[in-house]
Amino acid sequence: MCRSEGGVVVVETLVIIPTYNERANIADVVARVRSSVSDAHVLVVDDASPDGTGALADELAASDSHIHVLHRVGKQGLGAAYSAAFEWGLERSFERLIEMDADGSHLPEQLPRLLEASRGGADLVLGSRWVAGGGIENWPWHRRMLSRGGSAYARWVLRMPYRDVTGGYRVFTADALRSLGRDDVHSQGYGFQVDMLWHAHRAGLRIVEVPITFVERTRGRSKMTTGIVIEAMWRVTLWGLASLPGKFRSAR
C-alpha cells in the first residue's frame, strides 16, 4: 500500500529475503510475493552466494522496480543480514518490514493475513506454527519436537507468553524497530529471532501471533545446524540468568 504525506509518496511494505545459495528458489519466491502483495517491495540480501543467487537477483531487479538487491561481502549470518536490511529499509522510510525465508517454507500467499494484523495495530506480528490453525508440512517428528522444544524452553526461561518464539516469518513496524536496542542483538539463526522477540517483549510492544503453515523446502539444503541450535539455547540460558536479580544480572 502506498500513501501520500505532504506530497511525498510513502511506500508501506518491504519484504526482506536473506539468501545464501538459494538460486533454485529465489525467483519463484519473489514472484509469489509480488503476486500476493502487488505493491510491496522486495529486498534480497545476498551474502555472496557461490551458486549465483546474487546475480539472478540482480536480473530480477533489472526487470522490476519493486525488487532490490543488497550484496554483502560474504556469509556473515542471518542476524547480520537482517540488521543491514532493517537499516536499508528504515533509511528509505518503509513503514512495515517483513522477515521471510528464501526457500519457500514461508508461504507468500499468507502475507496479506500477516499484514492485516499489522495494520490492525500490532507492533510485531509473528507468523506462528504453534497456535491454533498453524502447522508444519513435511517435517519428520524429531524436527517438530526440536522446534516445539526450543520455543517452549525459550518461553519458559525468558518468561514470554508466545507460542512460536523461534519462527522467522514476521512483520515489524518501522516504529517498533526504531524503539528496539538492535545494537545489542548479536545472535544468529534461532538465536537472532529469539533475541529480537525478547527485545520487543521487554520494550512493551504489542505482539500478535497469526497462524501460518510452514512447508519444508523441496529444493536446496537447509542452513540449520546443530551448532546454531546449541548457540541459541546457550544464549537463551544466559539471557534468562541475566534477567534475574543479583549476581546473574551481568551474565549477558
Q: Does 1 reside within a domain?
A: no
Query: What is d(CA 14, CA 2) in angstroms, rounded to the nearest whole number?
Result: 12
Query: What is d(CA 152, CA 165) in angstroms, rounded to the nearest whole number?
Result: 8
pLDDT score recorded for residue 190: 65
CB 71 within 8 A of CB 96: no
Residue 135 scores a pLDDT above 80: yes
Residue 7 scores a pLDDT above 80: no
The 10s digit of each residue's pLDDT in 176-188 is 999 997 777 767 6
How many C-beta atoms surround the C-beta of residue 101 within 10 A? 21
How many C-beta atoms surround the C-beta of residue 235 within 10 A? 21
The 10s digit of each residue's pLDDT in 194-224 is 999 999 999 999 999 999 999 987 666 665 5
The 10s digit of each residue's pLDDT in 62-93 is 999 999 999 999 888 888 999 999 999 999 99
Counting residues of the chain whose pLDDT is more than 70, the rounded percentage is 85
Q: Does 138 reside within a domain?
A: yes
pLDDT score recorded for residue 185: 72
Total domain count, the chain: 1
Dig out the grid coordinates for 215 from the structure.
512447508
> Parallel, antiparallel, or unpaired: how do β-strands 2-5 and 41-46 relate?
unpaired
Q: Does 4 reside within a domain?
A: no
Residue 120 scores a pLDDT above 70: yes
Q: Does 3 reside within a domain?
A: no
CB 122 within 8 A of CB 56: no
CB 138 within 8 A of CB 219: no
CATH number, domain at 81? 3.90.550.10
Q: Does 2 reside within a domain?
A: no
Region of poorest pLDDT, from 31-35, 85-89, 165-169, 240-244: 240-244
Q: Which domain holds residue 232?
A: 9-248
Q: Does 86 reside within a domain?
A: yes
Q: Does 114 reside within a domain?
A: yes
Q: What is the mean pLDDT of the chain?
A: 87
pLDDT range class, residue 98, cuts 50, 70, 90 = very high
The torsion of the CA quartet 202, 82, 150, 221, rounded to 10 degrees, works out to 170
Within 13 Å of residue 19, how many CA atoms lie on the same side as its CB?
36
Q: Does 23 reside within a domain?
A: yes
pLDDT score recorded for residue 77: 85
In terms of pLDDT, which residue wins out, 239 or 76? 76
pLDDT score recorded for residue 251: 41
Query: What is d(CA 61, CA 50) in angstroms, rounded to the nearest whole number?
Result: 19
The 10s digit of each residue's pLDDT in 30-63 is 999 999 999 999 999 999 999 999 999 999 999 9
The SS3 of residue 4 is strand
Query: What is d(CA 144, CA 155) in angstroms, rounded to the nearest whole number?
Result: 16
